[in-house]
Structure 1
């Protein structure tokens, strides 16, 4: 179970690192052109704030667990990413983009699994 949790954590880290870097560096038009259409309803300061939250969550997915310091931050970061994915799925649903909603729902499930697995092993 621990190996699966680490693999899913790595998948989340890769996805949210790419997403966070893109949202924090690209213009609105470029983001939409590269497929991040879910940002369309939001002002750029909100998009940038979500990007920073995603990048912070990536760090919190690994560092506390690896250093055995404040380990509760890891499942909390995963829960935060579930919240981001709820927002993303809602945004894509309003834009009538079912494939994006499916991708968001999958990432939501992965993040929820990591959160549950890490909460279950806290001592």
Structure 2
């Protein structure tokens, strides 16, 4: 794995472990100040997104560390791209175009991570 690929994967994993962990463990009221969108999304879906983010983070890190099924890191990065596409679409549907900056950065970072992963398979 190239050093820049490992750094990007690590940064994405830390972000998604944090964000996913919050979605899985916190109440709607606790999430509301940071994630205003939770007021219109059923909590089981919020929890599911959190679990997907945690699984994506694990998928970015564990296969390259173990050397087992390293293609799963690419699949995880692609999955996280899809999570951000959904997040941006949600913001746009709520008239929150100004809120998609982080989604775009995370989407681009996950896409670059997937691309670098393919290059190093």
| TM norm. shorter chain > 0.5 | yes
Structure 2, unmatched stretches of 5+, are: none
Contact 1:41 1:91 survives alignment (8 Å): no
Provide the C-alpha distance between the structure 2 equivalents of 1:113 and 1:3, rounded to a whole number of angstroms. 13
Spell out, residue by residue over 1:62-86, the C-alpha distance to the aligned partner (whole angstroms, 9 max, x if none): 1101111001100100001001101
Q: Secondary structure at the match of 1:42?
A: coil
Contact 2:2 2:120 survives alignment (8 Å): no
TM (normalized to structure 1)? Answer: 0.90
RMSD, matched Cα: 1.5
Contact 1:38 1:88 survives alignment (8 Å): no
**Matched length:** 121
Provide the C-alpha distance between the structure 2 equivalents of 1:3 and 1:58, rounded to a whole number of angstroms. 18
Structure 1, unmatched stretches of 5+, are: none
Contact 1:85 1:108 survives alignment (8 Å): yes
Instruction: Kindly state the Cα deviation for residue 26 of structure 1 after the two structures are TM-superposed.
Output: 0.9
Instruction: Kindly state the Cα deviation for residue 60 of structure 1 after the two structures are TM-superposed.
Output: 0.9
Structure-2 residue corresponding to 1:2: 2
Runs of 4+ in structure 1 deviating by more than 3 angstroms, as ranges, are: none
